[in-house]
A and B are shown apart, each in its own frame.
Chain A
């Protein structure tokens, strides 16, 4: 049918074809003068800016600062969301007590709190970590809660008739049963994490990728601005790859997550 040996090595390259063509088109439109350098610098200029910042050590510094904020906020917000989700998921009392309050707070767009957060915490680290934590709490909370509630009641009944209670029931049935849903929550949370961080850093920061972009704007360095945007995209992709990796390890029992290799 097909020449399988030829299609085989072309296959992995195929997804890159469109992005590569777009970049080539972009480069061509700038170098031909059709697109002003002010509007959009050429890809080569962005690369050059990246290289300069990298060799001066600034890039690593700002990346590190942003990553730290994101990670700290995610751990705090995600941890709280997981804990609250476990409480409401595992106990009807917990649900009645906490769930409706959490749902109400969830409906406030957390970025709308920025003026208040600046008054509370000023413009230092705490404000950014707080916002990131707030952004990541709810997706993980919701998915943990629903993950636990949608576990097949037949499995619980079976486990109880085999003498599993308390911690053993949680470890062997509830947590693994809720895990696919929790990981979906983690993915959503990671998306919110970067989004929140970008906004927070753009408004007020003295270091970090957002600061890099805003500082470059003052000097009309569009190449650095584009670089910052690309960095955010790269970090988002990286986080996504990480979760996929976790899914592949933790959900290897799940037919939907098994690598579709032959």
Chain B
């Protein structure tokens, strides 16, 4: 089953906490079904942007629309958190079916199979490994057939091998369902591997908007991939003047 992904438009979007500006007049268009990765230093505002998209925070000014509608009317957005946030007192299956009514059990088993955890349906979250718990959290998001999936560093706490597994799992599921994905990460190679476009956020503004044109699935050892990673890293590590910002926009 394929789903229409969400289109997202940000116009002059700003957010401040008390007096501190976190996001400053961001303009951004995301196509339906696009995979966007947002990278940047800690405190650059990337998590805030994601929480705005999820409706967990309100913007201070500017416009944010998903599928042409203002936020709040859209129920097709799901957020995966840094930590899995499974309810420890519910079995894996009940966690996946959280908030659902009617006969959801079969569908829950189906999405659990999709993330490769069919045999854990009756287990408690405490009995799972970190990677397995994140896969349950992914299944919990997928069962709602989201048009927009927001990923807030969901792989940050996982070990390297589990990360690789999760990355290819997310890529496979995204290709299958064709929803829109916004991934916040501080792992640059991860962004290059997964995203159609990588955004570098710097002091609340988009400092780089770089389309990744490599064919999938990507070989991260290829010179092109390495080149992309280097370009992004350089941008993150060396804060730019405004002219540099314009140049990178022209280049893309």
Contacts and interface: CB of A to CB of B under 8 A. Distances in A.
Interface of A: 152, 154-155, 157-159, 161-164, 168, 172-173, 176-177, 179, 251-255
A191 to B, nearest CB: 26
A155 B85 contact: yes
A253 B126 CA distance: 7
Interface string B46-59: 00000000111000
A176 B98 contact: no
List the 10 shortest-distance A-B pairs measured between CB atoms, nearest first.
A176-B89, A158-B85, A162-B99, A253-B89, A253-B124, A163-B99, A255-B126, A164-B99, A154-B85, A162-B98
Contacts, number: 49
Contacts of A255: 126
B64 interface: no
A176 B55 CA distance: 26
Contact of B88 (A157, A162, A163, A254): A254
Name B's interface SS. Answer: loop
Given A163-B99, A164-B99, A154 B83 contact: yes
B87 interface: yes
Nearest to B144: A162
A159 B98 CA distance: 8
Interface string B80-93: 01010101111100
B199 interface: no
Contacts of B87: 155, 159, 172-173, 176
Given A155-B87, A254-B126, 4 more contacts: A157-B85, A159-B98, A253-B88, A254-B88
Given A161-B54, A164-B98, A176-B89, A154 B81 contact: yes
A166 to B, nearest CB: 12
Contacts of A253: 88-91, 124-126
Size category of the binding interface on chain B: 20 to 34
Contacts of B55: 161
A173 B95 CA distance: 11
A155 B124 CA distance: 16
Contacts of A172: 87, 90, 98
B99 A177 contact: no
B187 to A, nearest CB: 22
A254 B140 CA distance: 21
Contacts of B79: 161
Nearest to A175: B89
A152 B83 CA distance: 12
A44 to B, nearest CB: 50
Interface in B39-80: 54-56, 75, 78-79
Contacts of B78: 161
Most buried by A among B54, B98, B125, B144: B98
A67 to B, nearest CB: 32
Contacts of B83: 154
A252 B89 CA distance: 8
A154 to B, nearest CB: 5
15 contacts: A154-B85, A157-B85, A159-B87, A161-B79, A162-B98, A173-B87, A176-B87, A176-B90, A177-B89, A251-B89, A252-B124, A253-B124, A253-B126, A254-B126, A255-B126
Nearest to B124: A253
Given A172-B98, A253-B126, A158 B81 contact: yes
A176 to B, nearest CB: 4
Contacts of A252: 124
Contacts of A155: 85, 87
A7 to B, nearest CB: 29
A90 B79 CA distance: 26
Interface string B97-130: 0110000000000000000000000001110000
A254 B124 CA distance: 9
Nearest to A177: B89
A172 B140 CA distance: 15
A83 to B, nearest CB: 22
B125 to A, nearest CB: 8
A154 B32 CA distance: 29
B126 A157 contact: no
B56 A161 contact: yes
A252 B125 CA distance: 12
